[in-house]
Amino acid sequence: MPAGVVLLIVIGALIIAMLVSADSTLRKSEGKPHNAAWRTELAQRVASVSDFLHLTSPRRGIDSAMGRSDEKGPSLDELLAQQAAVTGAAVATGEAGGTTDSTELAALKPVIRTPTPDSPLRIWVGGDSVSQVYGQQLVKSAEATGLFKGTLDGRVSTGLAVPSYFNWPLHLAKDVVPVTEPNQFDVMVTLFGANDGQNIQMDDGTVLQRFSPEWYTEYQNRVGKTMDLLKSPTNDRIVLWTAPPPMGPTTRTHGMDRIGWIGWTEAQKRPWVHFVDTWPFFSDSNLQFQHSLPNADGTVRGMRQKDDIHFSDVGGTRLGWVALDDLKAYIDLSASKTQPKPSEIAPPDIKERSEVPENMPGAV
């Protein structure tokens, strides 16, 4: 086949691929901080042509099957109201029904049944791609105790900032803790953030620049109300809200300290949410990012994959045991069949922080 014909075929294939993926390209362009206006305008024009030719239909069908959609679903407030209407419980809020007294908040601490090998607790782990290895290793360790049965639900490139790509609150309310089965899980573990340090586009088209005051207000609202969505109406579920870890200095994943601070702040208002602080376990004594660190046995191991974003199996196991240790404040795990090995956990002097700052020196 002549080289010219091959070149035309390649160019044609690239153009078709561009048109088929036009919606996705537009979403990414609109979400990027400081993106040039001409790029967004070009993406909008390509999307319009693709819609006119109906070339986006196959891609939208795939996206729909994976939970991705451009269609506006119910708002977080509507999802919470729907839950309350079915369960008869008051809408969960970070104000704990209007009370802010620390004693009264402590009294609202979830009551989780004591698990046994014959009656294990049901644990769900989900979130963005960073949650995947963490979830795999957490569930592996949890099931090894004989006291848990796990479910994994990690979704690549997702978060709370772009629900048009994947609507986590809707998925949680519809598929994970539906009002018809509100007690499906005893423990829920989340990890969001790696994809959320970007602009947020509101329903009216307004774009909130990342980390602006308006962005903070909106993202904090989404985090808090997602936590509310996960509250058991009978107060027998604990939610472990895991902060994103520090990212390597050469990555383009920014603001994990700020996103972690928002999660910590909102968790303090909600007795059914426990914040898991990842930062000290993946940094040095000065709380600066480290790719490799020693475990309790003294052996230095790689905690992250080559991208300095995702966990290695070793890092995922390390964090998994942190989460399981945190659960001891809510659940009697004395019947566990296993205990962590020194090669799997952080040195004993590394602890979660009692207070999480908004900005970490040196963080990307």
DSSP state letters, 53-122: TTTTHHHHHHHHHTT--SS----HHHHHHHHHHHH-PPPP-TTTTT---HHHHHHT----PPPBTTBPEE
Q: Residue 82 pLDDT > 80, yes or no?
A: yes
Q: Residue 40 pLDDT > 70, yes or no?
A: no
Q: Which SS3 state, helix, strand or coil, does residue 6 take? A: helix
Span 336-355, average pLDDT: 97
Q: How much is the pTM?
A: 0.81
Span 18-26, average pLDDT: 51
144-175 pLDDT, tens digit per residue, is 999 999 999 999 999 999 999 999 999 999 99
Span 300-314, average pLDDT: 98
Residue 33: how many other CB atoms lie within 10 Å:
14
In which element (H, E) is residue 49 found? helix 37-52
Give the residue among 226, 324, 322 at the shortest CA–CA distance from 266.
226
- Which residues does 338 contact at the CB level (< 8 Å), separation at least 6? 141, 144, 145, 146
Give the residue among 83, 111, 85 at the shortest CA–CA distance from 271.
111
Contact 67, 155 (CB under 8 A): yes
Contact 150, 120 (CB under 8 A): no
pLDDT at site 16: 61
DSSP assignment, residue 132?
H
In whole angstroms, give the CA distance from residue 125 to residue 191: 8
Higher pLDDT pick, 10 / 95:
10
Span 331-357, average pLDDT: 97
Q: Which SS3 state, helix, strand or coil, does residue 289 take? A: strand
Span 182-187, average pLDDT: 87
Span 35-51, average pLDDT: 51
pLDDT at site 39: 57
In whole angstroms, give the CA distance from residue 255 to residue 297: 32
- Which residues does 294 contact at the CB level (< 8 Å), separation at least 6? 300, 301, 347
Give the residue among 307, 242, 224, 312 at the shortest CA–CA distance from 279.
242
pLDDT at site 27: 45
pLDDT band at 325 (very low <50, low <70, confident <90, very high): very high
Residue 72: how many other CB atoms lie within 10 Å:
10
Give the residue among 106, 104, 75 at the shortest CA–CA distance from 91.
75
pLDDT at site 30: 42
pLDDT at site 302: 98
| Domain ranges within the chain, ordered by starting residue | 3-65, 76-327
DSSP assignment, residue 239?
E
Higher pLDDT pick, 360 / 226:
226
Best CATH choice for the domain 76-327 from the list 3.40.710.10, 3.40.50.1110, 3.40.190.80, 3.40.50.720: 3.40.50.1110
In whole angstroms, give the CA distance from residue 324 to residue 138: 8
pLDDT band at 57 (very low <50, low <70, confident <90, very high): very low
pLDDT at site 11: 72
Task: Name the CA radius of gyration of the chain, rounded.
Answer: 22
Span 326-332, average pLDDT: 97
Per-position b or e across 224-247, b if 16+ CB within 10 A of its CB: bbbbbbbbbbebebbbbbbbbbbb
pLDDT at site 184: 87
Span 203-207, average pLDDT: 93
Q: Which SS3 state, helix, strand or coil, does residue 225 take? A: helix
pLDDT band at 185 (very low <50, low <70, confident <90, very high): very high
Higher pLDDT pick, 334 / 100:
334
pLDDT band at 108 (very low <50, low <70, confident <90, very high): confident
pLDDT at site 183: 75
Mean pLDDT across the chain, nearest whole number?
85
Q: Which residues, in sequence order, are bridge partners of residue 151?
A: 124
121-137 pLDDT, tens digit per residue, is 999 999 999 999 999 99
pLDDT at site 210: 96
Higher pLDDT pick, 233 / 180:
233
Mode of pairing for the β-strands spanning 300-302 and 292-294: antiparallel
DSSP assignment, residue 172?
I
Q: Residue 315 pLDDT > 50, yes or no?
A: yes
In whole angstroms, give the CA distance from residue 260 to residue 279: 9
